[in-house]
Structure formats: structure tokens, C-alpha cells
Amino acid sequence: MKTPVRPAARPAPFISAKRLSRRTFLKAGGAVAALPLLDAMTPARAADAGPDVPRRMVAMNFDLGFMPEEFFPQQTGRGYELSPYLKTLEAFRDDFTVFSGLSHPEVVGGHQTDQCFLTGAPHPRSAGFRNTISLDQYAAQHVGHLTRFPTLNLRVGPGGGSLAYTADGVRIPSEMTPSRVYRQLFVQGSPRETAEQIQRLREGRSLMDGFGGQLKALGRGVNATDRARLDQYFTAVRDVERRLAAGEEWERKPKPEVDAPAPKDVLDPGELVTRTRTMFDLTRLALEMDSTRLVTIFITQQFNPKVNLPGVELPHHALTHQSQREDSHQQLMTIEQAQMAELARLLGGLQDVREGGETLLDRTMVLQGSNLGHAGRHDTTNLPVLLAGGGFRHGGHLAFDRGRNAPLAKVFVSMLQRLGVETDRFASGEGTLTGLEPA
């Protein structure tokens, strides 16, 4: 598995009185643009990171959502009665907050909005749409250097979807094969493989040196605006060089050993629950071993398989479009309650791990949500979202205007600050979410 990392940000296209040869620029910049895809371009974890408490984040998106009438509580505040779906999480009532009345402003377009769940970029179906940086990649700019893998981007389901996007809106590939995730995280390569990987890293550094000189030559004779953009680009190049050097350092360090055996690759689309459980288990292991602190998981069923659960007879996607029928409603509840049960299992696994007098759940924010408020209507407002763990004052239902939603990105700002990132804005979120306070 090639664990993706944050590629270097690229500036906007150059506009100059002096015309630059596009072929020359691509020749000089093309190799640089490809470098983020190298499989070991990951920053090294600080050997002496100090006594700071490690904070972690898991963000997951279920692209077919949850029936709102079964997900959202009727009451607000801390004393609310658990909804049918939230009863599955009853053992963790004081460890999560459920939200209503949240969405991303102007993020419309039905199923295509999954790509915007962690970015908040508006109008994904518009001509010339360009995505923006995702929450995990923004966080990785600040805390990704603390672990072997800055981020871990996973997928449950077929296709090429991902929740992770670079600073210039390029999708970062996600991994759906559990055995490859396991090998990347925990299987140490042979001495020969390690030497070959180090050589590849060194070759990458040589390329950076060579192309860096050509890129600097492009700066001669351009105006001040273009020169500033080139300076930004050179800064990104230096960042890549630093990451390559750190990657070589990591190749010399052993990977953590775990007792858990390598998982079996159950890729039958109908085995939604089994595949979700496997990825959740790998997520917990990765966090427990501190291999990464930032994980995204995209659970996608758009290819409309029939989920292998007792009583479920129709394809998952089709059920969302006829959930008003009693038989379909019950089948869809069976699927969605099984998904909620897997979340409960993940939270329990994190709670069972002790770290420095706290649990791993205390130090890990787990965001579950969907880009669709109602999958059957392709509605993208009033998204079903909850946040568990991470050291917040949980236990309540924070309800906002379901007609004029508050920005979901305010939750993201709260999460970033909890990670130690000094920011008061992300996407459409200006400031933290009212009511979501650290414990």
C-alpha cells in the first residue's frame, strides 16, 4: 500500500507580461508535482517530542447517510432521550455529542458532495470546480511530522473515492485492501528492500536538486507577483526535500510489532459490516502504535450492493430511495444499526487502551457523519453528525436551526484547536462551534 501524504502546495497559474514556455515549466515542474506520490515520502516522528499529550483524529463519512428520523434525538441538551440509532451507543453516552442543523453552505450536488465532506468546497457539480484542502491534510501540516505516517486514508467499498485532498484540491488515493494497510503499518521490509527504498529516496532528493535549479531559472525576468508565487513554490520544494530526508531516517527505524495477525481481504461488496470492522480494527491498531494520528475512512455504497445481513433483500442504495415503505424502512434500519454497532465497537476498542493515565478514546476525536442529510432525496442539509472522544465535554445534543444550518466546518475548527493547531477558521467555519467545549 502506498500511504499518501500531503503533496506540496502549488501556486495559482502564473500571469506575467513575459510569456513563460508552458513546456519548459512542465518539464521543470512535472517531476516535482509527481514526487508526493513516492511511497515513503513521510516525515519522521520527533524522537523527543516532549511531554505533550498526543491528540488524534478519525474522520469517517458514510456516503448513504442515516435516516434522520432514526438518527436525530427529539430533545436537546444533556438530558435528551436517545434515538433508536443512538441507543446503540448508550454505553458511551457521556463520550459523544450529537449535532443537528449542521451542513456545508452551498455544498450541493447529491452524491457528488462526498468529496467535499472534509473540505467544505462549494458547488462540486459546477463547471471548473476545484476542491480545497481536507481537514486531515490541513491538520497534517501541523502534526503530521510527529508520526511515521502523517495521515492514513482508508476506504470501505469499491471505486476510487477518498476523503483526503491536497492544498490544491487534488484527491489523495485511499486504500481499501486491509492486508496492504497492515503490511505498510507493521511489516518490516527485508534489508535489501530497505536499502532499495533508501536509494529511491536519495534519487528523489537528487531530482529535487536538479529541478530546483531549473525552477529558479524561471524566476529571471518575471514580475513581482510571479516572483512571490515562485518563492511559495520554492518553499514547497524545500518542504518536499525535508520530507524525503525524514523518510530516509524512518526507513532505518523498525516498524512497531503487533500481536494481531494480518487481516483477511474480504472484498465482497455485500460484506459491508465485516469490511468496516476490519478497517476499524486497523485504525485502532495504527493509533495505538502511534503510527499515525490522523485517519480518514470513506464508507461508500454507491455501487448499490445488497448488504449481507439477515432480512435484507434489496440493494442498499435502492433502499434509501424507498425508505418510506415499511418493508424497505426496516431493511435499511437493519443496515444502519449494524453500522452504528461497528462504531460502538470501535469506541469500545479505543476505550480499552490506556495511555498515560487516560484512554485512547480520551485522546482521539472520532467524527462520524455523512455528506447527505437524506440520501433518498439527495438532500445535503441537516447532516447526521456526531463527535466522540478527544477530551471534549460530551453527553449532549447540540441542536441548530434546521432551516438555516450552522456551518459544519465550525466543528472542524474546534477539532483543529483540540489538536493544538492555532487557527480560528477552516473552510466556511469562522470560530469554534458554540457548545462544543474542551473538558
**pLDDT for res 272:** 96
Distance CA 13, CA 30 (A): 14
Least confident interval from 29-33, 105-109, 194-198: 29-33
- Condensed to tens digits (0 to 9), the pLDDT of residues 5-55 reads 333 333 333 333 334 443 333 333 333 333 332 333 333 333 333 346 899
**pLDDT for res 302:** 77
**pLDDT for res 356:** 87
Q: Are strands 425-426 and 429-430 parallel, antiparallel or unpaired?
A: antiparallel
Q: What is the mean pLDDT of residues 185-209?
A: 65
CA 366, 363, 85 angle in degrees (round to 5)? 30
The whole-model pTM stands at 0.80
**pLDDT for res 44:** 37
Distance CA 221, CA 85 (A): 63
What is the pLDDT of the chain when averaged over all its residues? 84
**pLDDT for res 187:** 86
The contacts found for 73-82 with CB under 8 angstroms, 24 or more apart, are 73/98, 73/100, 73/397, 75/397, 76/396, 76/397, 76/398, 76/399, 77/396, 77/397, 78/395, 78/396, 80/396, 80/397
Distance CA 375, CA 63 (A): 8
- Condensed to tens digits (0 to 9), the pLDDT of residues 257-310 reads 899 999 999 989 899 999 999 999 999 999 999 999 999 999 998 778 899 999
How distant is the alpha carbon of residue 352 from its chain centre?
A: 23
How distant is the alpha carbon of residue 65 from its chain centre?
A: 17
For 96, phi and psi rounded to 5 degrees?
-145, 160
Dmax (CA) for the chain in angstroms is 71
- Condensed to tens digits (0 to 9), the pLDDT of residues 323-361 reads 999 999 999 999 999 999 999 999 999 999 999 899 999
**Which residue has better confidence, 104 or 254?**
104
**pLDDT for res 232:** 57
- Considering only the top CATH level, what class is 55-187+260-430? alpha beta
**pLDDT for res 254:** 84
**Which residue has better confidence, 160 or 24?**
160
Above 90 in pLDDT, residue 390? yes
As a whole-number percent, the residues of the chain with pLDDT over 70 amount to 75
For residue 409, with 0-12 CB atoms within 10 Å meaning exposed, 13-18 middle and 19 or more buried, which class applies? buried
Q: Which of 1, 2, 5 is nearest to 246 (CA)?
A: 5
For residue 270, with 0-12 CB atoms within 10 Å meaning exposed, 13-18 middle and 19 or more buried, which class applies? middle
Residue type, 331: Q
Q: Which residues sit opposite 294 in a β-bridge? A: 57
Q: Which of 134, 108, 137, 133 is nearest to 122 (CA)?
A: 108
Interhelix angle for 326-351 vs 272-288, to 10°?
20
**pLDDT for res 43:** 37
**pLDDT for res 304:** 82
**pLDDT for res 8:** 37
Distance CA 189, CA 253 (A): 11
Above 70 in pLDDT, residue 194? no
Q: Which residues sit opposite 359 in a β-bridge? A: 354
